[in-house]
Amino acid sequence: MTTRRAQGGSDGGPGAGAGGAGPGAGPLGDRELLRQTSRTFALSVELLPGPLRSPVEAAYLLARIGDTVADRGVASAATRIDQLERLRGALAAAGPLGGALEVRPDPAGAGGATPAEAQLVAGADGVLARLTRLPAEDRADVQRVVDRLLATMIGELSLFEEESNARGGLSALPDARALGAYTEGIAGCVGEFWTRLVARHSGRGRRLAPPRVHALIVEGRRYGRGLQLVNVLRDLPRDLRRGRCFLPADELRALGLAPADLLDPAAGERIAPLLARWQARARRGLVSGFAYTRRLGRAGWRVRAATLLPAALGLATLRVLERAPAAARLDPEVVLRVPRGEVRRIVARTVVLALRPRWITSPPVRGTPAARQSP
């Protein structure tokens, strides 16, 4: 349900129709482009029925374009912010950008955009054109959630730029409240978006009652925030080298640490208590994902599976992080992730749970998958 560096990442591309090459799509077809830019979220989206898949694809791709510009732009933070504002304007008008967005290509993967990401950004007008083919209510929901995501990215760029200029180095979010606002703006709002789509398109033609939708939105936002915390914890060493620390500065100071200290993997032992607290909070958010899925009621098994899978993968990722050596948590050369074989098993178990929703109270991740460490 998250969009930015998503734990779970979607299915479709900058053109029309799954699997086809649309405007600006280049050599990769829609589905393959999604898989190469979306990590495991593509698994969730491929499970969705068509009426739900189209708006989710469009929202994910637009958010991913914004994320790539924000993280891998070729120019200063001010210029990247200007490009994101142009994307917001085109989104509101459901029209073309009127000029290319710029990213730094980097086939070697040393910080720039991958070929698939560069292709996606180049096809931004094709993705925007997909909005006009969505039903009016779906289009409005996509515009609303992507605008919130882009606004959060702009706020993030502005904050870290200001902090860096003021302090002359690596900066962090000031406190837990700021981290909560960030996770809400980048993922909690996606839980609400998902809820509104499911409420509209599920239930054999009968919409869910407003009180039930409201309860689901509250749970879905909590779930989304938990997923984004997993991303924050997993991506910590790489974010640090991009000049960003999403861990609260006041909590670092309480441990006698500054954000720059985290550039040394030897600080892993000292930061362990702080990581443990945020891991516990992330886990509570993921547990909300189970309650959320159980509440979906008449939604079909495909919707339940797509909804539950990010929580199952998130729990597995937390177990990997918790079992990793302390120094590895801060080492950008060590990639901690769930092994592919375990991912396949989790997908299979999640589908079984979706087919038997009464079993959803059972944890989908049994045991602790071994952390895969790769350069």
What percent of the chain has pLDDT above 90? Answer: 59
Q: What is the CATH number of the domain that holds 194?
A: 1.10.600.10
Instruction: Identify whether residues 131 and 174 lie together within a single domain.
Output: no
Same domain, 272 and 325: yes
pLDDT at residue 292, rounded to an integer: 94
- Using CB atoms within 10 A of its CB, is residue 274 exposed (0-12), middle (13-18) or buried (19+)? middle
Give mean pLDDT, residues 234-260. Answer: 95
pLDDT at 91 (0 to 100): 96
Res. 13: pLDDT tops 50: no
Residues 269 and 313 in one domain: yes
Q: Are residues 314 and 189 in the same domain?
A: yes
The chain-wide mean pLDDT, for the chain, equals 84
Mapped onto helix, strand or coil, the DSSP state of residue 364 is coil
Residue 208 domain flag:
yes
Backbone angles phi, psi at 75, to 5 degrees: -120, -165
**Torsion sign over Cα 172, 180, 232, 273:** positive
**Tens digit of each residue's pLDDT (9 = 90 or more) over 52-78:** 999 999 999 999 999 999 887 667 888
Same domain, 284 and 362: yes
In a domain, 254, yes or no: yes
183 lies in the same domain as 314? yes
Q: Do residues 173 and 259 share a domain?
A: yes
- Residue 236 in any domain: the answer is yes
Is 275 part of a structural domain of the chain?
Answer: yes
Residue identified by tokens 């599976």 is: 305
**Based on the structure, what is the number of domains in the chain?**
2
Q: Are 128 and 173 contained in the same domain?
A: no
| Residue-range definition of the domain harbouring residue 276 | 169-368
